[in-house]
Structure 1
């Protein structure tokens, strides 16, 4: 992942945290504003309706007592209409309907405005409550009471009230429109809604300010942590204040300082170890050169030596060669560790390269090659030879012949890749060993700690693959019955390692040349 992508992901994470803070602030503000507005609307609604209702009902009761009580016991329809009109003549704001009887069971109706208020506008339940006579007691001095009910007609709310005069007089009903109150309450609702919206907007703005204040130190801490992860161990945060974020910054600075000291100590020890191995390897080369020359002479004369001495000479020759290979491997490892290993690229025919590798080591009869001619890659031929020699040699040593080497090309994430699979038909690699096969000086058999190998071959092969920008994977292959049928090592390299070579500061055969 590139540095730009990492920065983008970090900004998205911070934006997500900012978004969560804003959403929480907005939800809290919205809940509080809606609750307050709802309570205020309900209280004002009840107050407005109660004030209007009480005023109208009290006036209606008073008019009933003053005017209807003067009517005869059996009023005519004209009497009822005249009194109802008189009751509304003073601008009461409501309509009146009086219900009397011309004779028993023969009701008559007198309305102040029959076009506005008729008996059908009076709910049945209200009429039943008005007509119900209640016993007079100390707690109930009146047999009839004033009742009211809110109704709606054509979307307009109305207040309907009714009562009856004691002593057999007519029943009276009033009908008042609440449209003005509804308009006032709608206006109040809009005002409270606008206030709620402004409160939410204000809370979002405050949340932005709060989020910026809180996230700025977090962003600085995240940036410092990224720099620290990129190897800038001298990164420190500026500390100001005494809050929790300041304590976190102090803790980060302390941890960064301790990490810098430990890394410096480890680097110094590692550099010392590398220098020691490199110096030792160089110092051993001079006596090894002499020993090698002597052993070559002894090997040539081995057939003429005393049979008692010949085994000792053979042992000296083999151990000298083993020591020479170990020194060469150690020098190769120190170059990788020191970062001085370089690529020298050339156009390589893979089939020819593999054939040359196995021919030089006399493995032609033990290796089956499945590779098309003409597959040309731009790689370092010497390092590719080292990789192939280690993988094929390891397969022959631990799996036995025949070893099958197959070559193919595939499309990879960064372009076309060369894929070389080396497979044997031996017992395979134990599961507990698989994660360690590329570790230095690791040997799978604890019963054979002193084998012919140095334990560096596969490690060096992996280093040579990595320097090309590739990798090696180890696994066990299985047969049709599911049993392990040998081990397989898969080498993946880019077909053109020029980009990797430029990053390392090297080039082609006309470049800096082979590393010493």
Structure 2
């Protein structure tokens, strides 16, 4: 059973490490993504603005130059034509105008003497024609504007950018002032478009490089930031595991260095406080152990005297004065109580010091419970529901201590009959001790196993030591088991003891003699406790809580 359990712990630890690494990677990824988004936004914005500014500058410069040249050609060459030119004159003038420095196509439209519309194109019959000019532009060119102080010309130059078969063009038109042909110009903007496309590709490549550079920069920044955070997390886990000497290396003067210094100061203060508490705890345990040990010597003598006095009380001769007989009986009972208290204190100190060990034996659980009940003369008050032959590898003496405290408390503070039931659940032995008393108050249930706990301040004194149930719980824990307290729906309290059937891995010591270990029930018989039922009846905190 040990190896699967250990493997499960290793798997759980591995899972915790994996979750930590995932969280660490997630934080790194978030930093890289944030850096990348910021860089991408900045690069795209800068590239977009640069492209838009360059596009407007290129197109505006080309457009202004072409329109200025076209307007000048219309004034100089088209304006020199007669009002009613011939076809040849229009064609020749259009060719001359197209030969300007801007190299655009020209279309001239006029009427001859007979009123026939004539067309003169610099590209010939199959070149630039009137159908290539948008209708809206033709309408604007032929619209006569009223002449006023703010408008000196009835006709103006109009232009428009169009897209034909994927190629951008600049189209413009105007009329000769004072009568003459109407001229249209067509200029291809394909060179400018290619330049702008090259610019867009360059800006896109620059944006991609900026994104890659930002990712690398973010990775470096994340590593710089997260390494101290990762070291802090590792140090915190080590501190949580009890390695109080864990410290962080402090370098720099930034916030992370200040955090590392704060962690080191907190760890140092915690280590000092834990060391002080451990020293005080060790001192307290030594004091209790030494005190208990020192008390045993005078208690031995006192116990011997009280035994003599008790024999005198029970003798037929009546050697004790009736006037002092109550005081003698009080001394005898209080001496027994003090003796039990010293033994319990010594047992508690052994548990606190971690020196308590199991002496295991193959125990028939039903026989052990019967022996415990018989040794304390509880056979008439306890009902046992247990099958014979249910064996477990336990420490008989410690099991007897547990049973004596649970059954004794039930008899004293519960209602008869007390029922003890035993059943096997998987690899566990489950022993339930139930009574028919008033039960335990709900606010007291969480504290019934506390040392010296008293539910009522008005009852500071009881016959027990107040340590019985806490010792019973410690004995259950050293077996690898547990005890729970609850109230039964039918009334009364129920204490449930769970013990593994095999406790060989719970810190047991082998028996050296090879003989069965002496049980607590046998020790109870030897001490004469079988008739009084003194042990267990008042040894647990339960004696203080009902």
Given the two structures, how large is their TM-score scaled by the length of structure 2? 0.75
- Give the SS at the match of 2:358: coil
Once residues 449 and 406 of structure 2 are traced to their aligned partners in structure 1, the CA distance between those partners, rounded to angstroms, is 11
Q: Following the alignment from structure 2 to structure 1, what is the Cα–Cα distance between the partners of residues 500 and 125?
A: 99
Other structure's SS at 1:160 match: strand
Once residues 217 and 233 of structure 2 are traced to their aligned partners in structure 1, the CA distance between those partners, rounded to angstroms, is 24
Change (3 A) 1:318 1:167: farther
1:290-309, aligned counterparts within 5 Å?
290-296=301-307, 298-299=309-310, 302-303=313-314, 304=316, 305=318, 309=324
Out of 324-333 and 147-156, give the one that drifted further: 147-156
CA change 1:162–1:348 in 2 (3 A) is: farther
1:262 maps onto 2:277 in alignment? no
1:335 positional shift: 0.8
1:344 and 1:451 map into 2 onto residues whose CA distance is 32
Give how far 1:334 is off. 0.4
Maintained 8 Å contact 1:95/1:176: yes
The aligned residue for residue 322 of structure 1 is 337
Offset, 1:355: 5.0
| Post-superposition offset of 1:231 | 3.5
* Aligned counterparts of 1:419 and 1:193: Cα–Cα separation in 2: 76
Q: 1:341 to 1:12 in 2, by over 3 A?
A: farther
List aligned pairs for 1:222-371, cutoff 5 A.
222-296=233-307, 298-299=309-310, 302-303=313-314, 304=316, 305=318, 309-348=324-363, 350=365, 353-363=368-378, 366=381
- Does the Cα contact within 8 Å between 2:361 and 2:517 map onto a contact in 1? no
* Secondary structure in 1 matching 2:174: strand
Look up the match of 2:67.
57
- 8 Å contact 1:156–1:179 — kept in the other structure? yes
Which of residues 144, 149, 154 is equivalent to 2:155?
Answer: 144
- Within 2, Cα distance between the matches of 1:302 and 1:162? 142
Q: Which has the higher contact order (CA 8 A, sep 6+)?
A: 2
> How far, CA to CA, are the matches of 1:409 and 1:107 in structure 2?
118
Tell me by how many angstroms 1:328 deviates.
Answer: 1.7
Q: Distance in 1 between matches of 2:418 and 2:165?
A: 96
| Cα distance in 1 for residues equivalent to 2:110 and 2:364 | 120
Q: Displacement of 1:16 after TM fit?
A: 4.0
Of 125, 132, 142, the residue aligned with 2:143 is: 132
How many angstroms does 1:452 deviate by? Answer: 2.6
Q: Does 1:24 align with 2:37?
A: no
How many residue pairs end up in the alignment?
502
The CA deviation string for residues 153-207 of structure 1, in whole angstroms up to 9 with x for no partner, is 4544443333333345444443444444334333322322222222222223223
SS in 2 for 1:143: coil
Residues 278, 72 of structure 1: CA spacing in aligned structure 2 closer, same or farther, 3 A cutoff? same
> Could you tell me the TM-score, scaled by structure 1's length?
0.79
Deviation for aligned residue 1:326 = 1.5
Asked if 2 retains the 8 angstrom alpha-carbon contact of 1:443 and 1:449, the reply is yes
Distance 1:27 1:461 in 2: 64
Determine if the alignment matches structure 1 residue 204 to structure 2 residue 218.
no
Q: 1:342·1:514 contact (CA, 8 Å) conserved in 2?
A: no
Quote how far apart the aligned CAs of 1:281 are. Answer: 1.3
Corresponding residue number in structure 1 for 2:401: 386
- 1:331 Cα deviation (Å)? 0.9
Structure 1 residues 5 and 82 mapped into 2: Cα distance closer, same or farther (>3 Å)?
same
Q: Answer whether contact 2:107 2:119 (CA < 8 A) is retained.
A: yes
CA offsets 1:446-493 (integer angstroms, 9 cap, x no match): 2211123322223223323333444444444557xxxxx444445455
- Aligned residue for 1:432? 443
Q: What is the distance in 2 between the residues matched to 1:105 and 1:454?
A: 136
Question: How far did residue 410 of structure 1 move?
Answer: 6.4
- Work out which of the two has the higher radius of gyration on C-alpha atoms and give 1 or 2: 2
Tell me the SS of whatever aligns to 1:166: coil
What aligned pairs does 1:30-69 form with structure 2 within 5 A after superposition?
Answer: 30-69=40-79
**What is the CA–CA distance in structure 2 between the aligned matches of 1:511 and 1:189, rounded to whole Å?**
96
Measured after TM superposition, the shift of residue 330 of structure 1 is 0.8
Q: Which runs of 5+ in 2 are unaligned?
A: 1-8, 519-546
| Matched position secondary structure for 1:444 | coil
Q: Secondary structure at the match of 1:282?
A: helix
Q: Deviations over 1:251-271 (max 9, x none)?
A: 444444443333333322222
CA distance in 2, matches of 1:287, 1:70: 145
Q: Deviations over 1:105-134 (max 9, x none)?
A: 997766547767555554444344333333
Alignment match, 1:482: none
Distance 2:411 2:113 in 1: 128
Q: What is the CA distance between 1:302 and its match in structure 2?
A: 4.3
Give yes or no for contact 1:95–1:113 (8 Å, CA) kept in 2: no
Residue 443 of structure 1 aligns with which residue? 454
Aligned pairs for 1:69-218 within 5 A = 69-73=79-83, 84=94, 86-88=96-98, 92=102, 94-98=104-108, 112=123, 119=130, 121-218=132-229
